């Protein structure tokens, strides 16, 4: 059932990407200026939702049009990246942020102008598409490197494989960048709490000492500033299993 939901979501995302192309084609057929509405990713457009306990993006958007000289290049970059992401959807392949940059970088014919000069230009475009299409980066088939580890009395199902986090040695399970249901499912958790450790070296010490077994907890780290997968997994354990989450950090406000 979870895999079915995952495939259904992939189909929705693919249609949204094609919808961007349809928008441009329709505007061209009507001799109109092709324009994309991009949600503004700034502090001025976010608010804290007390009921959900999270910061949410507001409804303010910025028009990105092709006939505006100041926006033309960014409009082109957005469509170029969207095309690359759509190609990944059709091929059922996944790639990295870096590879998207290389896929879309080239010199425009009969000019000395590059589509992208650095990856700092392409990464924000992917973030723009995430919020515009209401899809996670990983649902666009772009993955970040695994950036955390977890060990303890927890059983997961990752892409059909059963993962017992109590039987993976001191290194634990490498937390992927997406841990949403259908990608990573929690099958069993008998822990009393989650201990989220900031530093990877401290997590290693606690894991080697089997701290999690002695105190019956899930031991989790993001190796510094925790990536989205680690933060989301901690939240899922808190919400789905009502586990308190304690955080061990250094004294550096």
- The pLDDT value recorded for residue 9 is 65
- The pLDDT value recorded for residue 80 is 95
pTM greater than 0.85: no
Residue bearing tokens 């040695």: 169
Catalytic residue selected from 102, 215, 241, 246: 102
Please report, for the chain, the start and end positions of each structural domain, with discontinuous segments joined by +: 2-143, 149-248
- The pLDDT value recorded for residue 38 is 93
Active site residue 102: yes
CATH class of the domain at 149-248: alpha beta
Per-residue pLDDT of 144-188, as tens digits, reads 777 899 999 999 999 889 999 999 988 999 999 889 888 899 999
The yes-or-no verdict on residue 198 having pLDDT over 90 is: yes
**Measured distance CA(26)–CA(10) in Å, rounded:** 24
Assigned fold of 2-143: Arc Repressor Mutant, subunit A (1.10.10)
Evaluate whether 2-143 and 149-248 have a shared fold: no
Please name which of 233, 212, 211, 236 lies closest in space to residue 222, comparing C-alpha atoms.
233
What residues does 37 pair with on adjacent strands? Answer: 63
- The pLDDT value recorded for residue 6 is 60
Contact call for residues 219 and 172 (beta carbons, < 8 A): yes
Range 205-210 average pLDDT: 95
Contact call for residues 137 and 144 (beta carbons, < 8 A): yes
**Measured distance CA(251)–CA(79) in Å, rounded:** 45
Range 232-249 average pLDDT: 94
């Amino acid at each position: 059932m979870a895999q079915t939901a995952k495939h259904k979501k992939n189909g929705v995302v693919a249609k949204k990407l094609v919808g961007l192309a349809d928008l441009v084609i329709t505007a061209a057929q009507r001799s109109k200026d092709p324009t994309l509405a991009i949600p503004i990713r700034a502090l001025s457009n976010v608010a804290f939702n007390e009921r959900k306990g999270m910061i949410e993006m507001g409804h303010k958007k910025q028009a990105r049009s092709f006939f505006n000289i100041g926006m033309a290049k960014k409009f082109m970059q957005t469509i170029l990246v969207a095309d690359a992401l759509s190609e990944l959807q059709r091929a059922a392949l996944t790639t990295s942020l870096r590879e998207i940059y290389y896929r879309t970088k080239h010199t425009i014919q009969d000019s000395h102008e590059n589509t992208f000069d650095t990856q700092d230009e392409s990464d924000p475009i992917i973030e723009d598409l995430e919020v515009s299409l209401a899809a996670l980066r990983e649902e666009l088939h772009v993955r970040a490197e695994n950036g955390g580890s977890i060990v303890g009395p927890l059983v997961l199902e990752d892409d059909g494989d059963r993962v017992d986090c109590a039987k993976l040695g001191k290194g634990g399970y490498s937390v992927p960048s997406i841990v949403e249901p259908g990608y990573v499912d929690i099958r069993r958790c008998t822990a009393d709490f989650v201990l989220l450790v900031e530093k990877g070296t401290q997590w290693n010490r606690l894991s080697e000492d089997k701290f999690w077994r002695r105190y019956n907890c899930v031991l989790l780290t993001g190796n510094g500033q925790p990536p989205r997968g680690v933060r989301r997994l901690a939240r899922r354990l808190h919400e789905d299993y009502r586990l308190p989450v304690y955080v061990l950090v250094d004294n550096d406000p």
